[in-house]
Amino acid sequence: MRVGVLGARGKVGAEVCRAVEAAEDLELVAQVDTGDDSDDLGALTERGVQAVVDFTHPDVVMDNLRHCVEHGIHAVVGTTGFDDARLDTLRGWLDASPATGVLVAPNFSVGAILMMRFAAEAAPYFESVEVVELHHPDKADAPSGTATRTARLIAAARAEAGSGPVPDATSTSLDGARGADVDGIRVHGLRVRGLVAHQEVILGGPGETLTIRHDSLDRVSFTPGVLLGLRQVAAHPGLTVGLESYLGLS
């Protein structure tokens, strides 16, 4: 498969380029970044790219994807910032290009995917649950895509189980002190130099807490999932959200 990487000089994109170059069944034929002469999506079709990997920025990813879908190029997307409206827009573009596959995954690390799954599984058994995400301070978005997805999965699992709202008697607080409310679940974001990507889900009931923690200590944690995405995306036309189904987890 002929692969193009968008955001090729970025922190994750550079790691993805190394992984694709090392894979015998994949050929890296285009590297696109704002810092390069080749900052041009036209390079993708000129070089016969069959699938792109996008690790760019939430502000530009939709334009990239519109171009790819219009040209029948499959896409494996790590860039964050996808809400329901964006996903609906993507589905609309894909309806007009039914053979094209797009995978949007808030996190490509296997450990993070399992952390989200375990958190959702545990959530109905506890009164309280809150999400704390911790990242490097150069990150563009907050809360992280992973934290938002985790909170949504937790909220859905609790709704299905008939759990009530999480308890919180706070009546006075400074703005932000209780984090962001994602579907009724509080999400807190820390930005600290030295960190890469980390998350804790803290669950609590009478007399006990359970903490589920995942740490990406190096950005190589994302590349096996990205390679899996590249190898499977053509066999999954339309939009897939989350790497879980490619891993046989859903």
Ligand X SMILES: NC(=O)C1=CN([C@@H]2O[C@H](COP(=O)(O)OP(=O)(O)OC[C@H]3O[C@@H](n4cnc5c(N)ncnc54)[C@H](OP(=O)(O)O)[C@@H]3O)[C@@H](O)[C@H]2O)C=CC1
Note whether 104 and 236 are within 8 A (CB).
no
Asked if 214 is an active-site residue, the reply is no
Asked if 139 is an active-site residue, the reply is yes
Provide Rg for the chain, Cα atoms: 19
Indicate whether 47 belongs to the interface with ligand X (CB under 6 A): no
Residue type, 131: V
Note whether 53 and 6 are within 8 A (CB).
yes
Binding mask 90-129 for ligand LZUJQKHR (x = CB under 6 A): ----------------xx----------------------
Indicate whether 67 belongs to the interface with ligand X (CB under 6 A): no
Sequence-separated (6 or more) residues with CB below 8 Å from residue 181: 187
Q: Which helix (H) or strand (E) holds 85?
A: helix 84-95
Q: Which residues, numbered 116-175, are part of the site for ligand X (CB under 6 A)?
A: 140, 145
Could you tell me the smallest distance in angstroms from the CB atom of residue 237 to ligand LZUJQKHR?
A: 25
Angstrom distance (rounded) from CA 204 to CA 207: 8
Note whether 144 and 61 are within 8 A (CB).
no
Q: Which residues, numbered 140-169, are part of the site for ligand LZUJQKHR (CB under 6 A)?
A: 144-146
Could you tell me the smallest distance in angstroms from the CB atom of residue 57 to ligand LZUJQKHR?
A: 10
Residue type, 225: G
Question: What is the contact surface with ligand X in residues (CB under 6 A)?
Answer: 6-7, 9-13, 32-35, 55-58, 60, 78-80, 105-108, 140, 145, 222
Question: What is the contact surface with ligand LZUJQKHR in residues (CB under 6 A)?
Answer: 80, 106-107, 135, 139, 144-146, 197
Active centre residues (catalytic) = 135, 139
